[in-house]
Structure 1
Amino acid sequence: MNCKYLLPCTVFILIQACAVPIEKVATPIAVPETFSQAKDTTFLQEQWWLAFNDSHLNQLIEQALNNNFSLISTFNRLQQAEAIAIKQSADLIPSIGAAFGGAQSYSNLSDSSHFALGLNASYEVDLWGRLRAQKHAAELDVRVAEENLNTAAITLSSEVALAWYRLIAQRSQLQLLKQQIKTNQDNVEITAARFAGGQASAADLFQQQQTLQATIGDQNNVLISIKVLEHQLAILTGNTPGMLIIADNQQLPELPPQPQAGLGSELIQRRPDLRLAYFRIQAADQRTASAIADRFPKLSLSANIDTTAPNLQSLFNNWIATLAGNLILPIVDGGRRVAEVERNKAVAAESLNNYATTIQQAIKEVEDALVQEYQQHQLISSLNLQYSLSQKATQQIRLRYMYGAIDFLRVLTTQINQQTLERSRISAQRQLIEYRIQLYRSLAGSWQLPDYQDSADNNKEQQDG
């Protein structure tokens, strides 16, 4: 074929090539417009933890987002997806290679030289959009990886917040237990004195001593929990356990105003795990289109330019160019291509069903968090009332015991109930904060993450230095 026809023919063939467009995916299930128990109070911040106005929490989450190794490994998977997308895009570009050779021979009669230069190019014409569909699928995989990174960041930030406020709650419990131990020690001394004076029985003394030891045992369990949570925070922030300095906060914060839940349709657009599932459906559709196109004929073009000469000066004087085209039509393949089409269709159907399940789970998480927070408020109100009544009952029962109107068991039971209520109030407040964190997590969208590539380059430079 004459080379002057190469460009027009190629352009014509490329124009004939087709590609399957990336179609929008309709929501596969009905989504409620509004959520129950929702209050229209404040807008949800992208960095949701800022609503707590807790500088120590902000610092911990910033460390985690910059240094957590699991999150950085998720970024590495994004890098892999980007590299694969570049690789798939390369199939749409002609492949060109060059070869150069030279030889020198010597004899007693004469010397001779031989030089050769060759260029070859190959290209598969994407007649049916197979290569473009693969390229689109790889690009959608990159978006899946991006949303996976955003989802991992939300999960990490919520895990840090949960661990931080659990740690504060345990420190509050420890502070309370120390007070209760002191109270119980005083009660043991008073009971021992009354026993020595014949005003209390040995059983009264033993029961008070057992209550003291039970409180000390609870303190040991709390000390264990504090260390475990400190180790967890160290790992989450990218530190080795024992090497993270944590602020000594002992008071849980006041709950910030409840954020607006918004509409169900807005939630689908906002949550990265839902966008991830959406892009997976589109990627599966593109791979299905690629598998269908693979059943059709393939057209490959190749071009070669070769030249040889006895010296470098005349190397380009004599050359020859060839252009060839191959049309490959699959005839018998044992049903392999048909099976691949069916497999990709099943993957696409699975992705759609997973998308529906993810939407349902997202709605459930919001609804669960809203109803749990509402009921937790009711529980805290009840505990506060119980504690107030318990204080009054304890005063009356102690007074009656001093006058010998009731036995010591009644006093001890009331005392244990009051101490249990004191610890339950702290646990209930911590649980309320956890429900709010779950609500933030279920409503959260993405935000600007650190540039992990720059961090990796800086670390490499430091290691090389």
Structure 2
Amino acid sequence: MKTSCAPKLEDVKAPISEPEEFSVSGTDTIPEKWWTSFEDPNLNRLVNQALETNLQLAGDWEQFRAALAVVQREKSFLWPDIEASARAAISRPEPDFAGGENMQVGLSASYEIDLWGRIRSGIEAEKFRAQASYFDYQAAAMTLSAETSITWFQLVSARKQLALINKQIETNEDIVRLIRARFTGGQIRAVDILRQEQLLESTKDQRIFYETNIELLRNQLSVLLGRPPQNESIFPADSLPKLPPLPETGLPLELIRRRPDVRQAYNLVLAADRDMAQAIRNKYPRISLNLEGQMRSNNYNSLFQDWAYTLAGNIVAPLIYGGRLQAEVDRTQATKNQILYDYGQTVLISFREVEDALIREQNQKKRIEVLQKRLDLAKKTSDQLKTEFLNGLSDYLEVLLQLDEQQQLQRDMIEAKQSLLEIRISLYRALAGDFGYEPPENSQIN
């Protein structure tokens, strides 16, 4: 039985102004499993493993299951509470009982009539919280897939950096041998040899950094996969994947209906709305029924011969509670408003994340173009200075400085391409909805 004595549930709109379209949009459709856009089989395998074996994600799923159990607990209040009782006693002395035995068996039932929908409001609130917990799980799965992808590309990039630094070390060692030979012929100063050896040691130091980084990233990836780092052997690929075409951003309002973190915040607002409705209905009278039946005897043989029952109806109406019922209404209303503003903030952040990723990707592409031009010029300049040095037309210090700049630009280029992939991952994460992943033991909210 329901009445309209409290506010009905309505669609909730974020307290923000109407958003315009995103500044940039592509034409490529984002697949449900967005990481497959990179066409990297190793990445696909790692993300799938992480979703199946990550311990934190498994814990988030158990949190959702706990929320479902709370829903079932609240739904139980719509049914009568039935209890059975049995009692056996012996009295000494025995003035009233021939055999001294006192046997009682009974059943009792109590039921609250949900006249104003108070219980149903509590059930609806917990359903919305369970739904929010489910979307929180989906958001965690999205975060895990992004972290796994980023860590994998960082690992691939670190391996490319290590391969590059090894080539640079070979180059610097060859140059040391070359200028030592020229030194014996009196064509170069000793200080030039020392400077080149300094550059050589500097590149060796870089090699230690990348070797360490590779091992740390392997450990990080192992933990994401839910495995002990010392048990896992992960071998990264030799090259970074090609950047996929820019995806279609769609309309901002579509993003609100798609992103799991936004949907989670939305369901928390609905739950707070039902909490407020329940607080309002707590101010109304409660009607309950109680039924009790009992059989009693002095001995086992006659226990089931006599019985009695009692049926009672109760009505409790709050009169004077010192204002605490209204205070609870005020509290739940303020909480609802707070969660509504949090929801609006979540929506704004989702818009910002899309715009940030679009801006960063455009500028990162420009930066890579500039880096490529700088690298081409650095190589030409380095070759020219080497020729002039070999012909005695320039000082070796110029050659050394240019070589150092060229090698640094080569490392910067790998880092820039890796950053571009990470920016694209952040864009996919900002645009994509939940990809429907659930553990084998699926649960439903009814």
TMscore range, shorter length: over 0.9
1:462 — aligned with what?
none
1:111, distance to aligned residue in structure 2 (A): 5.1
Measure, in 1, the Cα distance between the counterparts of 2:92 and 2:63.
Answer: 57
Q: Tell me, what secondary structure is at the counterpart of 2:87? A: strand
Q: Could you list the per-position Cα deviations for residues 263-306 of structure 1 after superposition, in whole angstroms to 9, with x for gaps in the alignment? A: 11110110000100100000001001111111222222211111
Shift of residue 101, structure 1, vs aligned partner: 3.4
| Alignment correspondent of 2:190 | 202
Q: Give unpaired runs (5+ residues) of structure 2.
A: none
Distance 2:47 2:127 in 1: 30
Could you give the per-residue CA deviations for residues 363-404 of structure 1, whole angstroms, max 9, x where no partner exists? 010111111111111111111111112221111111111111
- Distance in 2 of aligned mates of 1:391 and 1:110: 115
Give the Å deviation of 1:320. Answer: 1.8
Deviation at 1:21, TM superposition (A): 4.0
d(CA) in 2 for partners of 1:98, 1:16 = 34
Change (3 A) 1:342 1:52: same
Q: Secondary structure at the match of 1:304?
A: strand
Specify the SS of the correspondent of 1:119.
strand
Root-mean-square deviation over aligned CA pairs: 2.2
TM-score of the pair, normalised by structure 2: 0.93
In the superposition, the TM-score normalised over structure 1's length comes to: 0.90
Q: Per the alignment, in what secondary structure is the counterpart of residue 236 of structure 2?
A: coil
Instruction: Tell me which amino acid in the other structure corresponds to 1:25.
Output: V
Q: Which residue of 2 aligns with 1:60?
A: 46
Letter in 1 for 2:190: A
The Cα of 1:16 is off from its aligned counterpart by 6.4
Aligned to 2:14: 27
For residue 254 of structure 1, what is the amino acid of its counterpart?
K
What is the rounded CA distance, in whole Å, between the counterparts of 1:377 and 1:296 in structure 2?
A: 64
Task: Sort the Cα spacing of 1:19 and 1:309 in 2 relative to 1 into closer, same or farther, 3 A.
Answer: farther
- Give yes or no for the alignment of 1:360 onto 2:379: no
Counterpart residue type for residue 189 of structure 1: R
1:120 paired with 2:108, answer yes
Deviation at 1:18, TM superposition (A): 6.8
Alignment check: 8 A CA contact 2:129 2:267 kept: yes
Deviations 1:435-457 (A, max 9, x none): 10000100111123242648xxx
For 2:55, the equivalent position in structure 1 comes to 69
Consecutive aligned runs of 4 or more in structure 1 exceeding 6 Å deviation: 15-19, 104-110
- Residue 183 of structure 1 deviates from its aligned partner by 0.3
Query: Are 2:360 and 1:372 aligned?
Result: yes
- Aligned residue number for residue 67 of structure 2: 81
Go from structure 1 to structure 2 and tell me whether the alpha carbon gap of 1:175 and 1:286 turns closer, same or farther (over 3 Å shift).
same
Deviation digits for residues 76-132 of structure 1, max 9, x if unmatched? 111111111111111121101111334689999975765432111111222222211
Unaligned runs of 5+ in 1: 1-13, 455-465
Partner of 1:346: 334
Find the aligned partners of 1:374 and 1:315 in 2 and give their Cα distance. Answer: 87
Aligned pair in 2 of structure 1 residues 309, 267: CA closer, same or farther (>3 Å)?
same
**1:152-196 C-alpha deviation (Å, 9 max, x unpaired):** 000000000000000000000000000000000111111122222
Q: In the alignment, is residue 160 of structure 1 matched against residue 148 of structure 2?
A: yes
Contact 2:139 2:261 in 1 (8 A): yes
Of 319, 336, 339, the residue aligned with 1:331 is: 319
Question: What is the aligned partner in structure 2 of residue 8 from structure 1?
Answer: none
| Equivalent in 216, 219, 231 of residue 204 of structure 2 | 216
- Within 2, Cα distance between the matches of 1:16 and 1:262? 41
What SS is found at the alignment partner of 1:91? Answer: helix
Deviates more, 1:201-210 or 1:317-326: 317-326
CA contact (8 A) 1:75 1:452 kept: no
2: distance between equivalents of 1:390 and 1:273?
Answer: 46
Classify the secondary structure of the residue corresponding to 1:301: strand
Please give the per-residue CA displacement for 1:330-387, whole angstroms capped at 9, x wherever unaligned: 2333332222111111110011101111111000101111111111111111111111
Distance 1:448 1:274 in 2: 16
1:308 aligns with 2:296: yes
Matched, 1:399 2:394: no
CA 1:376–1:100 in structure 2 vs 1: closer, same or farther (change >3 Å)?
same
2: CA distance between counterparts of 1:145 and 1:15? 27
Corresponding residue SS for 2:294: strand
Q: Which residues of 2 match residues 63-462 of structure 1 at below 5 A?
A: 63-102=49-88, 115-309=103-297, 315-451=303-439, 453=441
What CA distance in whole angstroms lies between the structure 1 residues aligned with 2:322 and 2:148?
Answer: 54
What is the distance in 1 between the residues matched to 2:5 and 2:290? 21
Q: Distance in 1 between matches of 2:127 and 2:301?
A: 47
**AA aligned opposite 2:26:** K
